[in-house]
Amino acid sequence: MSHEALLLGIDAGGTSTRAVLADLTGRCLGYGRGGRGNPISAGPDRAADGVLDAIGVALSGTEHSLSDITVIVAAMAGMRASGGADWLLDRLVANGFTGRLVFESDLLATYFSGAASVSGYALVSGTGACVIRVRDGRIDDVADGLGWLLGDRGSGFWIGREIARAAVQDLDGTGPATGLTDRVLAHYGLSRSGARIDGRPRELEELVGALYARPPIELAVLAPFAFEETDAVADGILSAAGVHLADSLSAVLAGPGPLVIGGSVLSRTGPVRDAFLTRLGDAAAELDLRPVGDGAVGAAVLAIRAAGGTPDEAVHARLTETIAAFR
């Protein structure tokens, strides 16, 4: 057994999981990917499989095993609703783990993936949308993240819903014509027919049926159409998304600092980013925007912190560089 303090940072997402094996100095010693790791969306058994698979890949090719690990930090969304830690801890213990398991917010992992400073902001705009203010290394304030029904303004879901509405209103004659309509119809295997059913275009009836037949959150898959289309309706949807994201950030904004951006909506240049910065006004100049691809680096930072280490700028830079070498 190794006497070196070894840590695992787990970035457990709804679609995939990343595991980082590291030491207290910030050296990544192993990196692995696994399947879905969130027990809320994937179920406890499948989520545990995803986490254990990622850990197994991270440990493979090294001389280490789970029995050598001092601390595991699992960063994920919705931990409070998962019913406790047993779904994962029991599986880890069965595979030789005797250390400490800590759960952290995926938003905090996103933040520390882009910043070593213990104070700043993170804005995630993927399928959902949420903003946090970080102070002294902990989440100090939160805006949005309220889910598809009540919030997630400016998210991929929100954009997808606006696209669906625009297409329906175009076909209904209650909104402007837009190139988004044919994209949405094609996505659901439909096309304009010229026929009418009870006074409505057949394709409108078919599209409404297709939309209501699916879970609302699936509207997020339509979001890329707004970035691909260049008409006024698409631009208007993206600009409104940027305004919503800026308003959410403004709710927690309390001075300058790094702004770590996760998710695809705000990370790219274009109408969303332009509207976001315009809405922020002078406050935008005090923010250092730092897009990140995932929370792997941040999960490892949180593991170092949990083990009593001090992940300063040098440690953060070493983690970022050595993890990148494994990807």
State the pLDDT at residue 305: 96
Q: Are strands 138-144 and 257-262 parallel, antiparallel or unpaired?
A: unpaired
For residue 82, name the pLDDT band (cuts at 50, 70, 90): low
Classify residue 45 as left (phi > 0), alpha (psi -120 to 50) or beta: alpha
The residue whose two tokens read 């409108």 is 204
Res 81 pLDDT > 80: no
Note whether 125 and 28 are same-domain residues.
no
- Is 111 inside any structural domain? no
Q: Is the pLDDT of residue 3 over 90?
A: no
pLDDT of residue 77: 84
Q: What is the pLDDT of residue 5?
A: 87
**Which CATH number is 232's domain given?**
3.30.420.40
Q: What is the mean pLDDT of the segment spanning 259-284?
A: 95
The reported pLDDT for the residue numbered 276 is 97
Per the domain annotation, does 109 fall within a domain? no
Average pLDDT, integer, range 31-51: 90
Determine the residue type at 58.
A
Q: Looking at residue 83, what is its pLDDT? A: 64
pLDDT at 39: 85
User: Is residue 56 domain-shared with residue 168, that is, in the same domain?
Assistant: no
Predicted TM-score (pTM) of this structure:
0.92
Gap between the Cα atoms of 281 and 246, Å rounded:
10
Are residues 77 and 124 located together in one domain of the fold? no
Residue 79 clears pLDDT 70, i.e. is over it: no
pLDDT at position 84, please?
Answer: 76
pLDDT 10s digits, 114-159: 999 999 999 999 989 999 999 999 999 999 999 899 999 999 999 9
280 lies in the same domain as 172: yes
The closest of 69, 73, 131, 56 to 97, measured between CA atoms, is: 69
Reference 301, options 4, 13, 6, 26; nearest CA is 26
**Domain-located, residue 104:** no
Residue 241 CB neighbour total at 10 angstroms: 27
Whether residue 75 is found in the same domain as residue 135: no
Residues 131 and 93 in one domain: no
Domain of residue 268, residue span = 118-292
For residue 310, is it within any domain? yes
Looking at the structure, tell me whether residues 89 and 126 fall in a common domain: no
Is 315 in the same domain as 205?
Answer: no
Q: What is the DSSP letter of 209?
A: H
Average pLDDT over residues 298-316: 96
- Give the tens place of pLDDT for each residue, 11-21: 998 889 999 99
* 3-state secondary structure at position 308: coil
Question: Based on the domain organization, do 41 and 159 belong to the same domain?
Answer: no
Strands 257-262 and 287-291: parallel
* Per-residue model confidence as pLDDT tens digits over 162-211: 999 999 999 999 999 999 999 999 999 999 998 998 899 999 999 999 99
Is the pLDDT at 80 greater than 90? The verdict is no
The reply to whether 146 and 264 lie within a common domain is: yes
Q: Which residue has the higher pLDDT, 212 or 268?
A: 212
Instruction: Confirm whether 50 is domain-assigned.
Output: yes
Specify the pLDDT at position 1: 42
Asked whether residue 215 is domain-assigned, the answer is: yes
Tally of structural domains, the chain: 2
Q: Looking at the structure, tell me whether residues 82 and 135 fall in a common domain.
A: no
Question: Is residue 199 situated within a structural domain?
Answer: yes
Residue 2's pLDDT band, with cuts at 50, 70 and 90, is very low
**CA 323 from chain center: how many Å?**
19
Is residue 226 assigned to a domain?
yes
Same-domain status, 170 and 271: yes
